[in-house]
C-alpha cells in the first residue's frame, strides 16, 4: 500500500453540481498528478501539479481545475458535473519532475469513485 490517500472513497452527485476531491501525497513527493478512469478504460491524464503550480494538462475542459498546497497535498475540483464525469478519479504522487530527469514510478491512491446521476 502506498502513502497516498484520497478522500472520499465514494461520492454520488447530481448533474450540474460541483465536487471537490482530495489527495494527500506520499511524504517527500512534490509532484501530484490526477487521472480519470472510466469503466473498462485506462486512466486518462487530467493535470499535474509541481510545487503548487499547474505543470501540464490533458484534454479536459476548464471546469476541471485543481490546487496544490504547500504540504503538496492536492484538490481536484469539477464544476457543472455531467453524467460522463462518472468515473474513478486517481491521484498519483512522485518524487521528481521534469523530462530531463525521466519519470520514476508513480504512487497511486485508492481512488475516489464518483457517480453523477
x/- binding map, residues 22-61, to other proteins, per CB under 8 A?
A: -----------x-x-x-xxxxxxx--x-x----xx-xx--
Of 16-24, 60-68, 77-85, 97-105, which part binds other proteins (CB under 8 A)?
Answer: 97-105
User: Does residue 70 belong to the site contacting other proteins (CB under 8 A)?
Assistant: no
In three-state secondary structure terms, 75 is: strand
Cβ 30 to other proteins shortest distance, Å? 13
Give the position of cell 478512469: 37
Sign of the Cα torsion 15, 40, 92, 33 reads: negative
Q: How far is the CB of 8 from other proteins (least distance, A)?
A: 14
Q: Which of 17, 113, 33, 112 is nearest to 72 (CA)?
A: 33
Identified binder of other proteins from the candidate list 28, 70, 83, 105, rule CB under 8 A: 105
d(CA 54, CA 75): 12
Q: Checking DSSP bridges between strand 112-116 and strand 10-13, what pairing results, if any? A: parallel
Distance in Å, CB of 13 to other proteins, minimum: 19
Amino acid at each position: 500500500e502506498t502513502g497516498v490517500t484520497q478522500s472520499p472513497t465514494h461520492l454520488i452527485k447530481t448533474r450540474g453540481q460541483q465536487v471537490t476531491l482530495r489527495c494527500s501525497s506520499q511524504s517527500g513527493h512534490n509532484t501530484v498528478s490526477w487521472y480519470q478512469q472510466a469503466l473498462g478504460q485506462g486512466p486518462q491524464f487530467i493535470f499535474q501539479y509541481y510545487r503548487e503550480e499547474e505543470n501540464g494538462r490533458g484534454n479536459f475542459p476548464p471546469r476541471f481545475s485543481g490546487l496544490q498546497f504547500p504540504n503538496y497535498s492536492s484538490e481536484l475540483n469539477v464544476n457543472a458535473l455531467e453524467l460522463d464525469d462518472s468515473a474513478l478519479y486517481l491521484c498519483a504522487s512522485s518524487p521528481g519532475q521534469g523530462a530531463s530527469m525521466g519519470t520514476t514510478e508513480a504512487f497511486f491512491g485508492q481512488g475516489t469513485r464518483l457517480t453523477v446521476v
